[in-house]
Amino acid sequence: MANIIVIGMQWGDEGKGKIVDLLTEFADVVVRFQGGNNAGHTVVVGQETFILHLIPSGALHPDKKCVIGNGVVVDPRVLLEEIDELQKRGYFKNENQLLISEDAHLIMPYHRRIDVAREQMKGEGKIGTTGRGIGPAYEDKVAREGIRVGDLLEETIFREKLKTNLSVKNPFLEACLHENGFDLEEIFREYLGYAHQLKKYVGQTSAFLERQMKQGRHILFEGAQGTQLDVDHGTYPFVTSSNTVAGGACTGAGIGPTKITEVIGVSKAYTTRVGGGPFPTELKDEIGQKIRERGREFGATTGRPRRCGWLDIPLLRDALRLNGLTGIALTKMDVLSEFEIIKICTSYKYQGQRIEEVPSSVKAMQECEPLYEEFPGWKTELKDIRNFEDLPPRAKDYVRHVEELTDAEVILVSVGERREETILRRNPFRHTPQRRFS
């Protein structure tokens, strides 16, 4: 039995969807444990491209169970559209393949409207929210005012909670945000329709996962976003509204931490982020533009162009510490294949001093100057390479230097967007690490 968490080491968009899809071959169950449809995982299978927002990336394997855990906030309309789209394309035909936690919270129409209106009011202080209602849904959850999937299946309870919430949300929308309120009956009818369609998928996911573990099943836990977007440990306030670090898998799926066997962090061979916030290695020149074009760095959910820069080692060390990583999956190595010189940020210069850790203050991080090491590029396409030893010497040196700088094992190197364009150096479901990395 192996229970493995896959999380992002940067600001999201690291290629977790591909890594989860790849590792799902060796798993029995795939669990999404936090976030909402603000995350978009892109998976390429053959000539087909899939962008998954709520359903775990394991959905493209017909014999795998997919679980949406209690830590996820669910927009039922988006979820049903995603199921319908997958079924039209020949996937997800077995209804037993999906299980949704009855304790997961719902995104309501007023959450989306509040999200967009508040972001617009911030002007230049925008944090870059996707406007999907994620933050307001988590706010209601913490305030003990949220509506859960299980509530949706009880008409009386759902109506009462919706009535109570609208008595607060409508005056707030109208008086503070200058937006229209909502009609109770309209939302009630709409969401009852969702309830009838989703009822067959709903259950006690925590108890299900415990049974699977007792039966020796392999479980893969899929995180959304990345470590630096964690609401507690990221570049606050330019973060998401949930815990994106590995510890969130335990609370968001309902399992104990002693059940986890490995934590794999996914990092690009360079760095990107979407939205506002500090980004020490950001390249606002033709090099950054070239990385964006070669890597097709545009948000899977929003289509927004991603900010691009060189690999940031202090950022990776931060992720290693916060997640207790046992290995790194290094993605998009192929994007760097055309560069004469490649840089890696090994530390920062802040107020005249060299520092090797990410400052907790956003202001301090904005003032950090990256200190780089330079490496000669390999100038060779990598997409057809499947064994690490067949990589160009300079590409192997790059990977090994990342290992040295982070004191972590790179278990996987992605050399293209397709599932098969991958060098798997160690399969975490079959081989445990030689040593634990800090």
- pLDDT value at residue 43: 81
Catalytic residue, chosen from 13, 103, 230, 334, is: 13
Q: Which of 258, 243, 278, 160 lies closest to 210, judged by CA?
A: 258
User: Is the pLDDT confidence value at 435 over 60?
Assistant: no
C-alpha closest to that of 358 among 224, 230, 225: 230
Kindly tell me if the per-residue pLDDT of 329 is higher than 90: yes
Mean pLDDT of 327-349: 97
pLDDT at 309 over 50: yes
Across 61-73, average pLDDT: 94
Q: How many CA atoms lie within 13 A of 74 on its CB side?
A: 36
Kindly tell me if the per-residue pLDDT of 257 is higher than 70. Answer: yes
Nearest to 295 by CA among 264, 328, 343, 337: 337
pLDDT confidence of residue 45: 77
Domain 268-424 classified CATH 3.90.170.10?
Answer: yes
Interatomic CA distance for residues 379 and 290, integer angstroms: 15
46 in Cβ contact with 263 (< 8 Å): no
Looking at residue 125, its pLDDT comes to 65
Tell me, yes or no, if the two domains 3-101+202-262 and 268-424 fold the same way.
no
SS3 content of the chain, % helix, strand, coil (to 5): 40, 20, 40
Q: Say if residue 58's pLDDT is above 60.
A: yes
Specify the pLDDT at position 93.
Answer: 83
Mean pLDDT of 275-294: 95
- CATH number of the structural domain 105-198: 1.10.300.10
pLDDT tens digits, residue range 394-431? 999 999 999 999 999 999 999 999 989 999 999 999 88
- C-beta of residue 180 within 8 angstroms of C-beta of residue 124: no
Task: Report pLDDT for 240.
Answer: 93
| pLDDT at residue 212, rounded to an integer | 97
Mean pLDDT of 88-97: 88
Which of the four CATH numbers 3.40.440.10, 1.10.10.10, 3.40.50.1980, 2.102.10.10 does domain 3-101+202-262 have?
3.40.440.10
At 300 the pLDDT is: 65
> With contact defined as beta carbons under 8 Å apart, do 279 and 307 qualify?
yes
Tens of pLDDT, residues 131-142: 899 999 999 999
- For the question of residue 13 being annotated catalytic, the response is yes
- Ranges of each domain in the chain: 3-101+202-262, 105-198, 268-424
Closest by CA to 330, choosing from 275, 435, 406, is 406
Of 21, 41, 105, 115, the catalytic one is: 41
Q: At what angle do helices 109-121 and 155-175 cross, to 10 degrees?
A: 20
